[in-house]
Amino acid sequence: MKKGYFGDFGGQFVPELLMPPLLELERAMETIVRSEEFDRQFKALLKDFVGRPTALTRCDNLSQRLGLDLWLKREDLAHTGAHKINNTMGQGLLTKMLGKGTLLAETGAGQHGVATATAAAKLGLECVVYMGAVDIRRQAHNVRRMELLGARVEPVKTGTQTLKDAINAALRHWIAEQRDTHYCLGSVVGPHPFPEMIRDFQAVIGREAKAQFRERVGRLPDMVVACVGGGSNAIGMFHEFVPEPGVELVGVEAAGSGQPDCYHSATLSLGSPGVLHGTRTKLLQTGQGQILPSHSVAPGLDYPGVGPEHSDLQASGRARYVSVTDDSALAAFQTLCRTEGILPALESSHALGWVLDNARDIKPGSSVLLCLSGRGDKDLEIVEQALASQKESKGD
Ligand SMILES: *Cc1c(COP(=O)(O)O)cnc(C)c1O
Q: What is the pLDDT of residue 139?
A: 86
Cβ contact 123:182 at 8 Å: no
Residue 190 to residue 307: CA distance in whole angstroms: 8
Taking CA atoms, 188 is separated from 61, 193, 231, in Å, by 34, 9, 6
Going edge to edge, which strands form the sheet with 223-227?
56-58, 69-74, 367-372, 223-227, 248-254, 319-324
Atom 2 (ligand 1): residue with closest C-alpha?
Answer: 300
**pLDDT tens by residue, 3-43:** 899 999 999 999 999 999 999 999 999 999 999 999 999 99
Cβ(231) – ligand 1 distance below 6 Å? yes
Q: Is 111 in the pocket of ligand 1 (CB under 6 A)?
A: yes
182 catalytically annotated = no
CA–centroid distance, 395 to ligand 1, in Å, is 33
Cβ(344) – ligand 1 distance below 6 Å: no
Q: Whose CA is nearest to atom 7 of ligand 1?
A: 232
Percentage above 90 pLDDT, the chain:
88
Please give the DSSP secondary-structure letter assigned to residue 49.
I
| Alpha carbon of 149 to ligand 1 centroid (Å) | 21
Q: What is the per-residue pLDDT for 160?
A: 85
Q: Sorting pLDDT into bands at 50, 70 and 90, what band is 394?
A: confident
Mean pLDDT across the chain: 96
Distance CA 10, CA 224 (A): 24
Nearest Cα to Cα of residue 346 among 143, 81, 166, 137? 81
DSSP 8-state code for residue 188? S
**Predicted pLDDT of residue 391:** 86
Between the CA of 226 and the centroid of ligand 1 the distance, in Å, is: 10
What would the pLDDT profile of 116-131 be if each residue is shown by its tens digit? 999 999 999 999 999 9
Contacts of 298 by beta carbon, 8 Å cutoff, 6+ apart = 227, 229, 254, 329, 345, 346, 347, 349, 350, 379
**Per-residue pLDDT reduced to its tens digit, 357-376:** 999 999 999 999 999 999 99
Q: What is the 256 CA–ligand 1 centroid distance (Å)?
A: 16
Helix residue ranges, H only, 105-240: 111-123, 133-138, 140-148, 163-177, 194-202, 204-217, 232-238
Mean pLDDT of 49-57: 98
User: Which of 74, 83, 91, 277 to mutate to test ligand 1, by most ligand atoms within 8 A of the CB atom?
Assistant: 83
Measured over the CA atoms of residue 358, residue 375, residue 93 and residue 171, the dihedral's sign is positive
Instruction: Give distance in angstroms: CA of 148 to centre of ligand 1.
Output: 22
- Give the pLDDT confidence score for residue 11 in this predicted structure: 98
Q: Helices marked H in the chain — which ranges? A: 19-30, 36-45, 60-66, 84-97, 111-123, 133-138, 140-148, 163-177, 194-202, 204-217, 232-238, 267-270, 308-316, 326-340, 346-358, 380-393
How far, in Å, from the CA of 186 to the mean position of ligand 1? Answer: 9
> What per-residue confidence (pLDDT) applies to 393?
84
The finding on whether 189 has its CB within 6 A of some atom of ligand 1 is no
Nearest-atom index, ligand 1, CA of 108: 1
Known catalytic membership, residue 83: yes
User: What average pLDDT score do residues 184-203 get?
Assistant: 97
pLDDT of residue 163: 87
Cβ-contact 97, 125 below 8 angstroms: no
107 lines ligand 1 (CB under 6 A): no
Q: What are the structural domains, with CATH classification, of the chain?
A: 7-47+84-198 (3.40.50.1100), 51-81+203-393 (3.40.50.1100)
pLDDT band at 352; cut points 50, 70, 90: very high
Q: What is the pLDDT of residue 396?
A: 56
- pLDDT of the residue at 106: 95
Res 262: pLDDT? 87
Please pick, among 59, 184, 227, 371, the residue that the annotation labels catalytic.
59
Mean pLDDT of all residues in 91-107: 97
Which segment of 136-150, 196-210, 290-304, 331-345 scores lowest on mean pLDDT? 290-304
For the Cβ of 302 lying below 6 angstroms from any atom of ligand 1, the answer is no
Distances (CA, A) of 196 to 17, 99, 294: 21, 22, 25
| Nearest ligand 1 atom, CA 231 | 8
CB contact set of 392 (below 8 Å; sequence gap of 6+): none
Q: pLDDT for 214-251, tens place per residue? A: 999 999 999 999 999 999 999 999 999 999 999 999 99
Question: Could you tell me if the CB of 300 is within 6 A of ligand 1?
Answer: yes
374 lines ligand 1 (CB under 6 A): yes
Confirm or reject: Cβ of 195 under 6 Å from ligand 1: no
Is 227:350 a contact under the CB 8 Å cutoff?
Answer: yes
For the residues 339-361, what does the mean pLDDT come to?
Answer: 98
